[in-house]
Amino acid sequence: MQENVTPHSFNVTKKERNVMNNHRSFLIWFTGLSGSGKSTIANAVETALFEKGIHTYTLDGDNVRKGLNNNLTFSPEDRTENIRRIAEVARLMADAGLVVLAAFVSPYRKDRGNIRQIVGKENFVEVFINTPLEECERRDVKGLYAKARAGEIENFTGISAPYEKPIAANIEIDTTKVTVSEAVAIIIKHIDSTLVL
């Protein structure tokens, strides 16, 4: 093999993957309070994209906190590391040709700025699910707000830890004002041209 060990330009490029898939690849990041509807909307957007033949993947607490980030807590330092790792995975997946949807509270502005830097601003669409705290707490789908109010959960965003709102999100959605279907339509319309090669 010796003569073949010298480096060849063997690597498949992102551009070649995008041509094969017939669409560009990038990251759509959903930020907002627990219970704001981030995952519901991300999953609905993914389904709509998938039905259009787009190659997608959704990262959320379910598949990340139980696996890659199962050694992290909810302390500020670990939240930062949590978001950093997710951004790095999203960068690799976008490089692999996937439209990546990521739904995480991601409460710190600095961390979200870090994501943008890691994936590159041309590959980053920030969606702020701006459902009011009162509504998220009223829904309390997982019963987490009740526990946070009772002091059973520490560092709970909106209750005992801060949420820093995005200053210039690409898209902002208040789920008390639009349905899931309407939210999907708004997001798809926004990224439609970004998908084109």
Surface-to-core class of residue 151, CB atoms within 10 Å of its CB (0-12 exposed, 13-18 middle, 19+ buried): exposed
Question: Cβ closer to its own copies: 17 or 149?
Answer: 17
Question: Cβ closer to its own copies: 24 or 55?
Answer: 55
Report the nearest approach of its own copies to the CB of residue 94 (Å): 11
Q: Is residue 101 within 8 Å of 58, Cβ to Cβ?
A: yes
The residue from 106, 160, 181, 193 that is catalytic is 106
Report the nearest approach of its own copies to the CB of residue 36 (Å): 10
| CA 67/CA 23 separation, integer angstroms | 29
- Taking only Cα atoms into account, the Rg of the chain, rounded to an integer number of angstroms, comes to 18
Question: Cβ closer to its own copies: 10 or 197?
Answer: 10
Report the nearest approach of its own copies to the CB of residue 25 (Å): 11
Surface-to-core class of residue 147, CB atoms within 10 Å of its CB (0-12 exposed, 13-18 middle, 19+ buried): middle
Q: Is residue 190 within 8 Å of 153, Cβ to Cβ?
A: no
Number of other CB atoms surrounding residue 30 within 10 Å: 29
Question: Cβ closer to its own copies: 63 or 160?
Answer: 63
Of 55, 125, 141, 138, residue with least CA distance to 93: 55
Is 106 annotated in the active site?
Answer: yes
Q: Which residues bind its own copies (CB under 8 A)?
A: 1-2, 4-5, 7-8, 10-12, 16-17, 20-21, 37, 40, 43-44, 46-47, 50, 53, 55-59, 63-64, 67-68, 71, 81, 85, 88-89, 91-93, 95-98, 118, 139, 141, 175-176, 178-181, 183
Report the nearest approach of its own copies to the CB of residue 151 (Å): 26
| CA 137/CA 139 separation, integer angstroms | 5
Catalytic machinery residues: 106
